[in-house]
């Protein structure tokens, strides 16, 4: 009887070890896949945010084009639509990173709308400033200075 229970216990131990040996590598693959998915999700959200900023840039180019052609009524309509979309984009979860810049653009909306309504030609400078701000938002990051540890040390003098 004792021999049977030892044999049964041995079979249970072997079964448990076999399960663990098969489970652990697959579990690690799953953990890695979840991490990769989170990274990809972050990158996708950032790309979607940048795509929205590019769309806003396109809209602003249309406003600038209409003001250059002195079609202030159409420019005013386009600017109104632009600021509506900026306001909507501020609330989007993929635009959180750009919220301060978009809020600064939105703060200029009343002045720009009023200037377009008065057909003020100086509006183009304010519109260009908005356009430059949008361009800075989507500009690729510049390379930073490498850490001091990675910088080449001067060669010793002989």
In a domain, 64, yes or no: yes
In a domain, 114, yes or no: yes
In a domain, 142, yes or no: no
Question: Of residues 151 and 105, which shows the higher confidence score?
Answer: 105
Contact 113, 80 (CB under 8 A): yes
In a domain, 19, yes or no: no
In a domain, 83, yes or no: yes
In a domain, 90, yes or no: yes
Question: SS3 string of 84-124?
Answer: HHHHHHHCCHHHHHHHHHHHHHHHCHHHHHHHHHCCCCCHH
pLDDT in tens, 50-69: 899 999 999 999 999 999 89
Model pLDDT, residue 55: 93
Q: What is the pTM of this model?
A: 0.69
In a domain, 125, yes or no: yes
Model pLDDT, residue 152: 55
**CATH code, domain carrying 87:** 1.20.120.290
Q: Would you say residue 28 has pLDDT above 70?
A: yes
Question: Of residues 48 and 61, which shows the higher confidence score?
Answer: 61
Structural domains of the chain, count = 1
For residue 126, which of 85, 73, 74, 83 has the smallest C-alpha distance? 83
Q: Would you say residue 154 has pLDDT above 80?
A: no
Domain with 64, as residue range(s), is: 38-137
pLDDT in tens, 70-129: 888 999 999 999 999 999 999 888 788 889 999 999 999 899 998 888 888 788 898 999
In a domain, 32, yes or no: no
């Amino acid at each position: 009887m004792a021999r049977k229970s030892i044999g049964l216990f041995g079979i249970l131990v072997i079964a448990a070890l076999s399960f663990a040996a098969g489970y652990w590598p697959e579990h690690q693959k799953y953990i890695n896949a979840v991490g990769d998915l989170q990274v990809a999700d972050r990158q996708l959200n950032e790309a979607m945010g940048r795509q929205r900023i590019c769309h806003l840039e396109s809209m602003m180019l249309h406003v600038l084009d209409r003001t250059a052609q002195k079609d202030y009524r159409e420019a005013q309509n386009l600017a109104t639509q632009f600021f509506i979309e900026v306001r909507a984009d501020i609330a989007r979860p993929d635009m959180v990173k750009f919220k301060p810049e978009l809020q600064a653009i939105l703060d200029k909306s009343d002045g720009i709308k009023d200037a377009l309504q008065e057909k003020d030609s100086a509006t183009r400078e304010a519109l260009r400033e908005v356009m430059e701000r949008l361009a800075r938002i989507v500009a690729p990051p510049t390379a930073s200075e490498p850490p001091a540890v990675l910088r080449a040390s001067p060669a010793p003098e002989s």
